[in-house]
Amino acid sequence: MLEEVIKAIDKLKDYNTNNIIFEDLSLFSLKDLQFIEKNTHLKVINGFKVLILFLPAVLKRMYEGLEEDLKQMEVLIIGDEENLTKEIIESLYKIVGFITIAGDYDDVIDDMSSYILEKTGLSIFYSKKINKILTNYPIIINLKDNYDLNVDKLRKSVIIFDFSIEKGIKKQLVSKNSIFCIDNFMFKADHLNIMGNRFINSPIPSHVYEQFNFNSLNFQEFVGLSIGDKIYSIDSFIDYGIRKKRKF
């Protein structure tokens, strides 16, 4: 399939083509997208820049709405891409209290820990057996494809961001109606000239926004959270996704 995709891209692109956007990134894995980039010499827009930039602002708004101190919260980051994980940590370290990482970091964890300590002053905790302590984490950010999480160990009021390409944890949680998984951020697009394209609907996901309208943090263009096949405002997610579960 990847070879056919690459052949099709080669037929369509010209000398002015630098980037490519796929409507549904979850059809691929991160390694698939890296393979496509290598063989087409184009940049696949994945939305990570937007997600990383907006994540601190989204979390701040959530915890303001919950009237809880975000600085006391511990965040679990699951991944295997060293640079991407570093970027997430650097975006969050000023607003959260503690950060744990899990995933495939055995070969780089010492260098990562030293880098993060020097850059942020934060000591990160690395766990290889995260399923045993999942109840410790009110916030989980997943960056890793095909990660097998013991969803039965999660807090009922956990806030999960599945920013992986394949959305493995989101798929695991389909049968868990009590736990909501945020899989993307959605943005306004009505003012963009791309809205004449019948294949693009408004609001648009992070990777489309990154290509066509992303310059800096502009929360006025943020619409809401993609959860399953629905879009929630931050306030509605707090009321429906968190507060009601805590009452029970």
CA distance 55 to 176: 24
pLDDT for position 244: 59
**pLDDT-wise least confident of 26-40, 75-89, 109-123, 210-224:** 210-224
Give the closest residue to 221 by CA, choosing from 204, 236, 238, 237.
204
108-118: pLDDT as tens digits:
999 999 999 99
The ranges assigned to domains in the chain are 2-44, 48-186+217-247
Q: Over 90: is that where the pLDDT of 214 sits?
A: no
pLDDT at 175 over 80: no
Of 49-53, 83-87, 147-151, 216-220, the poorest mean pLDDT is in 216-220
What CATH number has the domain spanning 48-186+217-247?
3.40.50.720
| pLDDT tens digits, 153-168 | 998 889 999 999 999 8
Confidence tier at 246 by pLDDT (50, 70, 90) = low
DSSP letters of 119-149? HHSPPPEE-S-GGGGGGG-SEEEE--TT---
